[in-house]
Amino acid sequence: MHAGQRVDNFLFTHLKGVPKTHIYRIIRKGEVRVNKGRVKQTTKLKVGDQVRIPPIRLAERTAANIDATRYEFLKRATLFEDDALLIINKPSGMAVHAGSGIQIGLIEALRAVRQDLRYLELVHRLDRATSGCLVLAKKASVLKALHEDFKNNSLTTGRLDKRYYTLVKGRWRHGERNVVKPLNTEARQHGERVVIVDAQGKYARSIMRPVSVSDLASLVEVKLLTGRTHQVRVHALSEGHPIAGDPKYGDLEFNKSMKAFGLSRLFLHAVSLRFRHPITDAELQVEAPLSDDLNAVLTQLTLSLN
């Protein structure tokens, strides 16, 4: 069932509670072996592969020792639920899983809050600062089926339509823009890992459409046809329109001006998902409304959603 899955994703599933940084460290040091050979985090598993995982002795943060009352708000964030799926409107500022100094991520918190569920796994990820539609599987068979669709995104199958709202600097003058720019997700600048447009990078494609514009800022809808790390943020920057509130790829002065309008976070929101239900194959569309704080910023800027 793990054929085609990346080594790092395989380990995230099988080493719950182990920080992401630790998993990447044991891969980098060669302690994780596939068929007795060293691998990269991006190596994809094949049928029949033998994976060796070194002994891990880290104290796991289990549902039993998480104060579930702190995360009851996640129940109110539910957008859709049935026997197969749980889809929530992820809040900004919450990582999807523990790691990198984060003791409790959204998946750990949900397992504590929803102890009625015997199985709950992330189908895909959103950056910590990004809010919006996030899909979780309640069965292993559902996870496997949806991994295929979300891995391929909208590019090859047409079974997934993933859209974001983002606020960018300046007046968007391009109309609808088909942005096809390869991204290097392993680049380093000043010792920090960054994503850059690079001819040697991985194919990445976004369709950007203006929703409402002004001289100061524009609200843009982005349809992702691939799912590279920081794709929306870097593609927006490459078009000359960095995203509001982006501390990594944004414009410092623009971010300061946006704070005066009440923006205190990255303005990037996964507004909608349309995909085929993994059991019924019926089309399922879910929308996550913008939070009150983001709507207030748009009102201050006299930008609208229509």
Give me the amino acid identity at 208: M
CA–CA gap between residue 281 and residue 121 (Å, rounded):
20
Residue where the block lists tokens 């995104």? 153
CA–CA gap between residue 272 and residue 187 (Å, rounded):
30
CA–CA gap between residue 79 and residue 29 (Å, rounded):
41
Angstrom distances, CA of residue 71 to CA of 32, 78, 94, 113, 268: 34, 13, 11, 7, 22
127 belongs to the catalytic site: yes
Neighbours of 99 (CB within 10 A): 18
Residue where the block lists tokens 């880290």? 58
Strand-pair category, 192-197 with 121-122: unpaired
Annotated catalytic residue within 67, 82, 127, 198: 127
Q: What is the DSSP letter of 35?
A: T
- Which residues carry out catalysis? 127
